[in-house]
Amino acid sequence: MSLEMKVPAVGESISEVTIGQWFKKDGDQVEMDEVICELESDKATFELTAEAAGVLKIQAQEGDTLEIGDTICSIDTDAAAGDSKPKEDAGADKKAESSASGKTGEIKEMIVPTVGESITEVTLANWLKADGDYVELDEIIAEVDSDKATFELPAEANGILRHVAQEGDTLEIGGLICKIEVTEGGAPSSEDSSSTSESSSASAASTSSKDTYATGHASPAAAKILAEKGINANDIKGTGKDGRITKEDAEKAERKAPEAPKSESKPAAAKASEKVADAPKVAGSRDSRREKMTSLRKTVSRRLVSVKNETAMLTTFNEVNMGPIMEMRKKFKDQFKEKHGVNLGFMSFFTKAVCVALQEWPAVNAQIDGNEIVYNDFCDISIAVSAPKGLVVPVIRNAEAMSFEEIEKEVVRLATKARDNKLSIEEMTGGTFTLTNGGIFGSMMSTPIINAPQSAILGMHNIVERPMAVNGEVKILPMMYLALSYDHRIIDGRESVSFLVRVKQLLEDPTRLLFGV
């Protein structure tokens, strides 16, 4: 009999979930209540357990978004009954299987793949598998950083992993990163390990045989919390199914104090240097440290200097009364969030305003390509986001055709992926105009640098109450300075000033955005 497993109801307001990762493969034997995959909603991460013992048939893949009640997999319970054998037969099969498995003598060399048209080198960020570990085909073994994004490196064969490059190494595209000693028949069993290793004991073998993929593995929510706390997942014990580290485990975890070194394990000089390193800092000390620049930081530095040197950059300023937008947000923000599930922020107003102005002044939305000017009829708005590894600029595609709700949801999605270092090259490529908001950090005024090959960028700043003359009277109004940096080679002063005045007009009377006037 085939038992269909459907996406369970995981919360009152949750209507859909995304498959985070499968812990079991299609065709694997599963036991009842065994964790087989993770489901991610917009609020939390959940583990899905098998509802019966049998052979798993996967119907939805990792990354698929399913509604509550959709079929996610099925379990063939008849196969479980048919596969049951006496322990002796099972042991004999296992031995025969293990004898069939082993090294083939083939060495698979893995090189740095091509990850983008303009990317020539990457940095090995961290190994997810240790040297000597058994890896399976397409299993993620490392993360590499380029000057634009972080990529996951999957294994290209089943076998034993041998590191060639170390964490922090910079490799060119095509450079050798690791080798895999190809094996057949799957990972070595505990019996094979004990027979080939003279130091392993029977008790150790029995203990390791109980470990599963979930043992010591952190769920995505737990991994994020541990990363924020600076805690290694290997330093805590999971209380979830099969020793899995849950979100609650991560929240309770505390960073361990560094252990005192054993006297017999390190020389006196090493102990002395550790004491100096662990000593508390004294006021007035003149310590300094050096850190290697990341690929992203080096590229940002190179591109900013290039823009300053290769463009005729000029900045024009204006100020806008933010009172009308603030009153509109105050009036409708609760209803907006209740209906659309996302906050009504300033970014959607600015995005809509610049899209209207860009279509009226197309030179601001254009770019120079050799001896030609490329005018764009669409508005791909780049949003500058301060990510952990540096400044990134994801793109909102066809923003001119999007509603306030769609813009706010896209901003939240891209900002979240940027903070988690999960943005793809495609999500950061292109863009015809850029918005940057230094006001969230308290900036009153700045001259933003153009995001090449674009021709203009609009800088938003903090909102400050200032006395303003209105119809002969002095009123206290919430004001914001706007700064438009533009390439004077393609945009004239009339166009830049008129563009900024139009943006000011739309923001000070946001009802114009609703009627397109």
Give, to the nearest 10 degrees, the angle between helix 323-340 and helix 346-360: 110
Beta bridge partners of 463: 480
Q: Are 49 and 75 in contact (CB under 8 A)?
A: no
371 Cβ neighbours under 8 A, 6+ residues apart: none
Q: Are 65 and 72 within 8 A, CB to CB? A: no
Q: Which residues contact 130 (CB under 8 A, 6 or more apart)?
A: 161
Yes or no: say if 402 and 396 are a contact pair by the CB < 8 Å rule: yes
Query: 492 catalytic, yes or no?
Result: yes
- Which of 33, 93, 492, 509 is catalytic? The answer is 492
Does residue 64 carry a catalytic annotation?
no
Q: Tell me which residue of 306, 302, 289, 290 sits closest to 121, measured CA to CA.
A: 302
Q: State how far the Cα of 155 lies from the Cα of 163, in Å rounded to an integer.
A: 12
Nearest Cα neighbor of 31 from 47, 54, 3 is: 54
Query: What is d(CA 239, CA 430) in angstroms, rounded to the nearest whole number?
Result: 45
Q: How far apart are CA 491 and CA 496, in angstroms?
A: 6
Cβ atoms within 10 Å of 506's Cβ, excluding its own: 22
Report phi then psi at 505, rounded to 5: -60, -45
**In 10 A of CB 517, how many CB atoms?**
10
DSSP element (H, E) containing 203? helix 202-209
Pick the catalytic residue: 78, 211, 278, 488? 488
Residues assigned a catalytic role: 488, 492
